[in-house]
Amino acid sequence: MARPTSHPVPGAVPAKPKRPRDPISSGDRDASFNRAASHNYFLTDRIEAGVALRGTEVKSIRQGQANLKDAYGLVKDGEIFLLNAHIGPYSHGNTSNHDSLRTRKLLLHSAEIHKLEVKTQQKGFTLIPTRLYFRNGKVKCELALAKGKQDWDKRESERKRDADKETRAAIARSQRK
Protein backbone atom coordinates (compact mmCIF):
# COMPACT_ATOMS: atom_id res chain seq x y z
CA MET A 1 0.00 0.00 0.00
CA ALA A 2 1.44 3.34 -1.04
CA ARG A 3 1.83 6.09 1.52
CA PRO A 4 0.16 9.41 0.77
CA THR A 5 2.66 12.06 -0.23
CA SER A 6 2.73 15.48 1.34
CA HIS A 7 4.33 17.18 -1.66
CA PRO A 8 2.65 17.83 -5.02
CA VAL A 9 3.27 15.35 -7.78
CA PRO A 10 4.87 16.96 -10.87
CA GLY A 11 2.47 17.17 -13.80
CA ALA A 12 -0.63 16.61 -11.64
CA VAL A 13 -3.47 19.11 -11.91
CA PRO A 14 -4.32 20.65 -8.53
CA ALA A 15 -7.89 20.14 -7.36
CA LYS A 16 -10.25 23.08 -7.80
CA PRO A 17 -11.27 24.69 -4.54
CA LYS A 18 -14.92 24.10 -3.73
CA ARG A 19 -17.08 27.12 -4.32
CA PRO A 20 -19.07 28.27 -1.31
CA ARG A 21 -22.67 27.13 -1.13
CA ASP A 22 -25.55 29.48 -1.53
CA PRO A 23 -26.35 30.98 1.93
CA ILE A 24 -30.05 30.17 1.52
CA SER A 25 -29.44 26.52 0.53
CA SER A 26 -26.93 25.98 3.33
CA GLY A 27 -29.36 27.36 5.94
CA ASP A 28 -27.26 30.41 6.80
CA ARG A 29 -30.02 32.78 5.67
CA ASP A 30 -33.82 32.54 5.56
CA ALA A 31 -35.38 31.95 2.16
CA SER A 32 -38.36 34.09 3.16
CA PHE A 33 -39.29 36.06 6.26
CA ASN A 34 -42.75 37.39 7.13
CA ARG A 35 -42.07 40.92 8.41
CA ALA A 36 -45.76 41.82 8.59
CA ALA A 37 -46.49 38.97 11.02
CA SER A 38 -44.89 40.56 14.09
CA HIS A 39 -46.45 43.92 13.22
CA ASN A 40 -50.01 42.61 12.83
CA TYR A 41 -50.04 39.79 15.43
CA PHE A 42 -48.87 38.84 18.89
CA LEU A 43 -46.76 35.74 18.16
CA THR A 44 -46.66 33.13 20.92
CA ASP A 45 -45.82 29.46 20.31
CA ARG A 46 -43.50 28.67 17.41
CA ILE A 47 -43.19 25.28 15.76
CA GLU A 48 -41.10 23.94 12.87
CA ALA A 49 -42.90 22.05 10.10
CA GLY A 50 -41.76 20.40 6.92
CA VAL A 51 -43.42 21.43 3.67
CA ALA A 52 -44.56 19.03 0.92
CA LEU A 53 -43.29 20.71 -2.26
CA ARG A 54 -42.70 19.93 -5.91
CA GLY A 55 -39.21 20.12 -7.40
CA THR A 56 -39.72 23.41 -9.21
CA GLU A 57 -41.00 24.97 -5.98
CA VAL A 58 -37.81 24.05 -4.12
CA LYS A 59 -35.70 25.56 -6.91
CA SER A 60 -37.77 28.76 -6.83
CA ILE A 61 -37.34 29.02 -3.06
CA ARG A 62 -33.57 28.65 -3.53
CA GLN A 63 -33.73 31.57 -5.97
CA GLY A 64 -35.51 33.64 -3.30
CA GLN A 65 -38.91 33.75 -4.97
CA ALA A 66 -41.03 32.95 -1.90
CA ASN A 67 -43.36 35.39 -0.13
CA LEU A 68 -45.27 34.69 3.10
CA LYS A 69 -46.94 38.08 3.57
CA ASP A 70 -50.60 37.01 3.27
CA ALA A 71 -50.08 33.34 4.13
CA TYR A 72 -51.75 31.46 6.97
CA GLY A 73 -52.10 27.91 8.27
CA LEU A 74 -55.30 25.89 8.39
CA VAL A 75 -56.02 22.73 10.38
CA LYS A 76 -58.45 20.47 8.53
CA ASP A 77 -59.23 16.76 9.06
CA GLY A 78 -56.16 16.18 11.23
CA GLU A 79 -53.80 17.79 8.69
CA ILE A 80 -52.27 21.26 8.45
CA PHE A 81 -52.14 23.19 5.19
CA LEU A 82 -50.34 26.37 4.16
CA LEU A 83 -52.58 28.72 2.18
CA ASN A 84 -51.76 31.88 0.18
CA ALA A 85 -47.99 31.35 0.34
CA HIS A 86 -46.64 32.69 -2.94
CA ILE A 87 -43.78 30.76 -4.52
CA GLY A 88 -42.98 32.22 -7.94
CA PRO A 89 -42.64 30.02 -11.01
CA TYR A 90 -39.21 28.53 -11.64
CA SER A 91 -37.41 30.51 -14.34
CA HIS A 92 -36.08 27.40 -16.13
CA GLY A 93 -39.26 25.35 -15.65
CA ASN A 94 -41.26 23.83 -18.45
CA THR A 95 -45.00 23.44 -19.01
CA SER A 96 -45.35 21.39 -15.82
CA ASN A 97 -44.28 24.33 -13.63
CA HIS A 98 -46.19 24.71 -10.34
CA ASP A 99 -49.06 27.08 -9.47
CA SER A 100 -47.66 29.97 -7.46
CA LEU A 101 -50.50 30.14 -4.88
CA ARG A 102 -51.43 26.47 -4.51
CA THR A 103 -52.31 24.95 -1.13
CA ARG A 104 -49.34 23.10 0.37
CA LYS A 105 -49.41 20.42 3.05
CA LEU A 106 -47.31 20.93 6.19
CA LEU A 107 -45.67 17.90 7.74
CA LEU A 108 -46.01 17.53 11.52
CA HIS A 109 -46.47 14.73 14.03
CA SER A 110 -50.09 13.98 14.91
CA ALA A 111 -49.60 15.07 18.54
CA GLU A 112 -48.32 18.48 17.38
CA ILE A 113 -51.24 18.81 14.97
CA HIS A 114 -53.73 18.01 17.74
CA LYS A 115 -52.08 20.56 20.05
CA LEU A 116 -52.28 23.28 17.39
CA GLU A 117 -55.85 22.33 16.52
CA VAL A 118 -56.96 22.83 20.14
CA LYS A 119 -55.16 26.18 20.40
CA THR A 120 -56.51 27.56 17.11
CA GLN A 121 -60.09 26.79 18.13
CA GLN A 122 -59.80 29.45 20.84
CA LYS A 123 -61.25 32.77 19.79
CA GLY A 124 -58.85 35.10 18.00
CA PHE A 125 -55.98 32.64 17.44
CA THR A 126 -54.62 31.60 14.05
CA LEU A 127 -51.52 30.00 12.54
CA ILE A 128 -49.14 32.37 10.75
CA PRO A 129 -45.95 31.28 8.92
CA THR A 130 -43.10 33.50 10.07
CA ARG A 131 -40.20 32.20 7.98
CA LEU A 132 -39.22 29.68 5.31
CA TYR A 133 -35.72 28.22 5.42
CA PHE A 134 -33.58 25.19 4.58
CA ARG A 135 -32.39 22.67 7.15
CA ASN A 136 -30.28 19.72 5.98
CA GLY A 137 -31.39 20.32 2.39
CA LYS A 138 -35.11 20.27 3.22
CA VAL A 139 -37.49 23.23 3.22
CA LYS A 140 -38.91 24.03 6.65
CA CYS A 141 -41.60 26.49 7.66
CA GLU A 142 -41.75 28.11 11.09
CA LEU A 143 -45.38 28.48 12.20
CA ALA A 144 -46.41 30.74 15.05
CA LEU A 145 -49.63 30.75 17.01
CA ALA A 146 -50.85 34.31 16.60
CA LYS A 147 -53.48 36.64 18.01
CA GLY A 148 -54.39 39.78 16.06
CA LYS A 149 -53.30 43.21 17.29
CA GLN A 150 -55.58 46.22 17.54
CA ASP A 151 -54.43 49.58 16.18
CA TRP A 152 -53.48 50.84 19.62
CA ASP A 153 -51.37 47.71 20.16
CA LYS A 154 -49.47 48.46 16.96
CA ARG A 155 -48.84 52.06 18.03
CA GLU A 156 -47.61 50.86 21.43
CA SER A 157 -45.20 48.42 19.76
CA GLU A 158 -43.93 51.21 17.53
CA ARG A 159 -43.35 53.52 20.51
CA LYS A 160 -41.46 50.79 22.34
CA ARG A 161 -39.31 50.05 19.28
CA ASP A 162 -38.48 53.76 18.88
CA ALA A 163 -37.57 54.08 22.57
CA ASP A 164 -35.26 51.05 22.31
CA LYS A 165 -33.64 52.53 19.21
CA GLU A 166 -33.01 55.85 20.97
CA THR A 167 -31.56 54.04 23.99
CA ARG A 168 -29.15 52.04 21.82
CA ALA A 169 -28.11 55.24 19.99
CA ALA A 170 -27.45 57.03 23.32
CA ILE A 171 -25.35 54.12 24.56
CA ALA A 172 -23.36 54.10 21.30
CA ARG A 173 -22.77 57.86 21.55
CA SER A 174 -21.55 57.58 25.14
CA GLN A 175 -19.15 54.74 24.23
CA ARG A 176 -17.61 56.78 21.40
CA LYS A 177 -16.56 59.61 23.74
pLDDT of amino acid 127: 92
In a domain, residue 124? The reply is yes
Q: Which of 156, 40, 54 is nearest to 99 (CA)?
A: 54
Q: Which of 111, 100, 112, 114 is nearest to 53 (CA)?
A: 100
In a domain, residue 161? The reply is no
Total count of domains within the chain: 1
Q: Which residues touch 23 (CB under 8 Å, ≥6 apart)?
A: 29
In a domain, residue 24? The reply is no
SS3 126: strand
Q: Which residues touch 91 (CB under 8 Å, ≥6 apart)?
A: 63
Which residues on neighbouring strands pair with residue 142, listed in sequence order? Answer: 48, 131
pLDDT of amino acid 167: 94
pLDDT of amino acid 169: 93
In a domain, residue 156? The reply is no
> pTM for this structure?
0.72
Q: DSSP string covering 100-111, please? A: TT--EEEE--HH
CATH number of domain containing 113: 2.40.280.10
Domain that holds residue 45: 32-149
Residue pair 127/120 in contact by the 8 Å Cβ criterion:
yes
Strands (E), the chain: 32-33, 41-51, 66-67, 72-76, 79-83, 86-87, 104-107, 125-135, 138-148
pLDDT of amino acid 16: 65
pLDDT of amino acid 166: 93
Tell me the pLDDT of the chain (177 aa) as tens digits.
Answer: 566 666 666 666 666 666 666 777 777 778 888 888 888 888 888 999 999 988 888 888 888 888 998 899 999 998 999 999 998 888 887 777 777 888 999 999 999 999 999 998 888 889 999 999 988 889 999 999 988 888 777 788 889 889 999 999 999 999 987
pLDDT of amino acid 105: 94
pLDDT of amino acid 95: 73
In a domain, residue 5? The reply is no
